[in-house]
A and B are shown apart, each in its own frame.
Chain A
Amino acid sequence: MGERYLLRGNEVIAEAAIRAGCQCYFAYPITPQGELVEHMARHMPRLGRTFIQAESEVAAISMVYGAAAAGVRTMTSSSSPGISLKQEGISYIAGSNLPAVIVNVVRGGPGLGNIAPSQCDYFQAVKGGGHGDYHMIVLGPSTVPEAGELTMLAFELADRYRTPVMILADGLLGQMMEPVELPESLELSKLPQKPWAATGAKGRDPNIILSFDLSPENLKRMNLELQAKYAEIRKNEVRWEEMDTADADIVVVAYGSIARIAKTVIRMARAEGIRLGLFRPITLWPYPYEPLRDLADRVHTILTVEMSAGQMWEDVRLAVAERAASPFYGEMGGVVPTPNGILSEVKKYAR
């Protein structure tokens, strides 16, 4: 403990994955998460672990499927266009009940877009970007140290629920340098046992990993089991942060880097006598609907601020359900909202 380093978000996610016991990492390079791949390339082989620069994101996520099925902690990372390619594999991983961690350092889209920070992949992450009735747990870190903590948590949740977990970061967080205290390394021998894994049928019946059943009745049952697992996750794993909400009249809802900027805005607004608070979802799936709904009963305005056309805004409105005014302010294409920009937006609603 106590080691402090000045690191980028990308490097912290990589290092935290190693410390969480990630034994196999597969990826295809893409900006703005290059440092993550490079960190893994440098350190995984040195530790006797697997690093493969895959031929594509499709291959990388398929390798994750194989390693996860074999029962080791495994991760892939990419940015938006690459994450689109991973959707096939993510759906199979979810359908086969495999634990895996996927990092998306989101950039501007659609299409090739650009390499500037964005939050435009929110729908894809939280609504299920691939085929089928599935979800992933989606964690949205807002600072570099939190990126490390949530990476550790991602592996833990993936194993606990046998589910894919996504870390939804953005280019700003990936590139930003901050002093961090790195988490302690977990001992590989103490990681959870996986008696279900395909490790060779020695002294037991074969373990079969699959997402397939031709019988509608059976597939329905598999789906019901998945939904029961999601209900459990919704019950246990909703995480969020509130700042200055106790006396607030207006609340900004923001996640990731924008939440961090919003904290500055709160200080600025309070200095001008506006009672502004922040509600920051940490789990984007499962979304903290209920605490946000409670908050909506106590304030007159809930302003969503995002680097997208209003994707999370849909979840906010689901939560608020007309209990308060629910306006939106967003930027797109890699443009990052400034504190002053957000503040002048807030002032429109201050009474």
Chain B
Amino acid sequence: MPVDTARMTKVFSRPQSLTEAHFTYCPGCHHGLITRIIGQTIDELGIAERTIGIAPVGCAVFAYLWYRCDALQVAHGRASAVATGLKRARPDRIVFSYQGDGDFASIGTAESIHAANRGENITVIFVNNQIYGMTGGEMAPTTLVSQRTTTTPEGRDPATTGYPIRFSELLAQLDAPVYITRQALYDTRRIMDCTKAIKKAFQNQVDGKGYSLVEILSTCPTNWHMSPLQANEHVATTVTKVFPLGDLVNKGA
């Protein structure tokens, strides 16, 4: 039944800086939500014409399709180094990298730490879903103890595979970063908080303040073998115990 919305105020619509492309993510996956929030942020700050996005290797490999912005697709783990080169070449442009936990906190460990340590004036969106989504659900450095993945079929055993790495806490030890925060999206309140955090991380760059990172506890219903709702619940009750939410660095707040 058609609804007459002509007389009404639109309170929610698709961000202008997103293209019409359908996301390639699985049902209920937070990657899409994060993309929407980034799009909304780009709209609100009015920076679409000078923003350059960096798509990682991972489920977000197609991220260059989502934004009405220039974009690069780059090698697995190297997004923070590529962002460095891009930003140094064009300091007045807004550069953000979008990286999974395998990308950012495993294969890209060195690039991630050193971009933060140099205080590059970039925005990093770090999507921590505790698993390798794209390649079929293997262990990530962030995988929880006892969590079953395709490469820890009996559950992650810290005796042989170590513990989930709290990468944001590692980066928070550095002097240069201006903003490091961990957020989640498992309910409306967290979504609103995360939206504020992402906006701040972009605003910092616009203001020339320096390195800002938003880690987001994301879901992978597919490889967690959970329904989207169960996955949200799992983040709320279990994942946040290992990865506590909140700001780790917030300079000049």
- A: which residues have CB within 8 A of B? 23-24, 26, 50, 52, 54-56, 58-60, 62-72, 74, 88-89, 92, 96, 198-203, 206-212
Contact = CB atoms under 8 A, between A and B. Distances in A.
Contact of B74 (A65, A70, A72): A65
Interface of B: 48-52, 55, 61, 64, 67-75, 78, 81-90, 93, 110-111, 113-114, 118
Contacts of A64: 85
Contacts of A207: 70
A63 B81 contact: yes
A85 B113 CA distance: 18
A203 B70 CA distance: 12
B110 A65 contact: no
A212 B110 contact: no
A212 B48 CA distance: 23
Contacts of B73: 96, 208-212
Nearest to A88: B75
Nearest to A55: B114
Contact of A62 (B78, B93, B113): B78
A200 B70 contact: yes
B199 to A, nearest CB: 19
Contacts of A211: 73
17 contacts: A50-B89, A55-B113, A58-B81, A59-B114, A63-B82, A66-B72, A66-B81, A66-B89, A88-B78, A198-B72, A199-B93, A200-B90, A200-B93, A206-B69, A206-B70, A207-B70, A212-B61
Nearest to A50: B88
Contact of A56 (B84, B110, B118): B110
A170 B186 CA distance: 57
A199 B64 contact: no
A55 B110 contact: yes
A102 to B, nearest CB: 14
| Nearest 3 CB-CB pairings of A with B | A66-B85, A63-B85, A62-B81
A12 B106 CA distance: 39
A58 B111 contact: yes
Contacts of B75: 62, 65, 88-89, 92
A23 B89 CA distance: 7
Contacts of A26: 85
B73 to A, nearest CB: 4
Given A58-B111, A92-B74, A66 B82 contact: yes
B81 A59 contact: yes
A70 B90 contact: yes
A63 B72 CA distance: 12
A209 B88 contact: no
Contacts of B78: 58-59, 62, 65, 88-89
Contact of A67 (B69, B86, B118): B86
B110 A58 contact: yes
Given A66-B83, A206-B71, A59 B49 contact: no
A89 B75 CA distance: 7
A67 B85 contact: yes
Nearest to A202: B49
Most B CB contacts (10 A, CB to CB) among A69, A71, A211 go to A69
Given A59-B78, A200-B70, A69 B86 contact: yes
A89 B77 CA distance: 12
Nearest to B47: A200
B18 to A, nearest CB: 12
A62 B70 contact: no
Contact of B84 (A63, A71, A92, A199): A63
B72 A210 contact: yes
Contact of B52 (A52, A68, A96, A200): A200
Contacts of A62: 74-75, 78, 81-82, 85, 111
B93 A59 contact: no
A71 B111 contact: no
A24 B85 contact: yes
B247 to A, nearest CB: 26
Given A55-B114, A199-B93, A202-B50, A66 B69 contact: no
B84 to A, nearest CB: 5
Max chain B Cβ within 10 angstroms of own Cβ: one of A24, A71, A199: A199
A106 to B, nearest CB: 24
Contacts of B86: 66-67, 69-70, 198
Given A26-B85, A89-B78, A199-B90, 8 more contacts: A64-B85, A66-B86, A67-B88, A70-B86, A70-B90, A72-B90, A200-B93, A201-B49
A93 B239 CA distance: 38
Contacts of B68: 201, 206
A96 B71 CA distance: 12
